Amino acid sequence: MKKANLGSKVLMYPFPIVLFGSVVENKPNYSTVGNVGIMALRPATLYVSSHKSHYTNIGVRENKTFSVNFPSTDLVVESDYCGIVTGHKEDKSEVFKTYYGNIKTAPLIIECPVNISCRVIKEFMVGGMEVFIGKIDETYVNEDLVPERGKPDVIKIDPLLYSVDLNYYKIGEKIARAFSIGKEYKKKA
């Protein structure tokens, strides 16, 4: 297979979109971010990378807390809106209904099936982006998505995915069990 060299490009998608939340001037604000990922499991730690100009960053810098809220695909209009419009110009506090857990400066979105609150344990700048490393304090999930045994079903969570071609996608079909299907390699080889 011939390879095309595209130079220094971030061609690595899709990622789940999150509504990155903080409290600024006593109001919740949410901005739509795709630069989010897991850093560690114990302690549960994630990062969000958000441009230094973003309104949400103000509250994170001030309170050293933030939230990430995972919208389902039915929230695509509201989620995209929060990525187009800045809190510097418009009050986005009423786009979603907000509640709070332990941390009163990490606003959580009722309409989103998964909500995570974090305390900042590290922050640094990369190319105009502020990277906030957050230790997860609490994780809330819609009760009807939590099975009695096992883990929440990602198909039911129906996360909104964002891709390199500037489109949103759904998650597709299940292919295989992780840490299991690989055992077939030896047979195959």
Contact flag: residue 89 with its own copies (CB under 8 A): no
Residues between 126 and 155 with contacts to its own copies, criterion CB under 8 A: 126-129, 131, 133, 135-144, 146, 150-154
Selected from 84, 89, 148, 149, the binder of its own copies by CB under 8 A is: 84
- The residue length of the chain stands at 189
Spatial distance between the Cα atoms of 142 and 110, rounded to a whole number of angstroms? 9
Total binding residues for its own copies by CB under 8 A? Answer: 106
Whether the upstream peptide bond of residue 107 has omega within 30° of 0, thus cis, is no
Selected from 59, 71, 116, 132, the binder of its own copies by CB under 8 A is: 116
Contact flag: residue 159 with its own copies (CB under 8 A): yes
List helix spans (H) across 8-54. Answer: none
56 and 87 Cβ atoms separated by less than 8 Å: yes
From the list 20-28, 56-64, 164-172, the region that binds its own copies by CB under 8 A is 164-172
Distances (CA, A) of 26 to 66, 93, 141: 14, 10, 25
CB of residue 52 vs its own copies: minimum separation in angstroms? Answer: 11
Strand partners, 123: 132
Spatial distance between the Cα atoms of 156 and 159, rounded to a whole number of angstroms? 8
Contact flag: residue 169 with its own copies (CB under 8 A): yes
Contact flag: residue 175 with its own copies (CB under 8 A): yes
Residues between 29 and 58 with contacts to its own copies, criterion CB under 8 A: 34-47, 49
Contact flag: residue 87 with its own copies (CB under 8 A): no
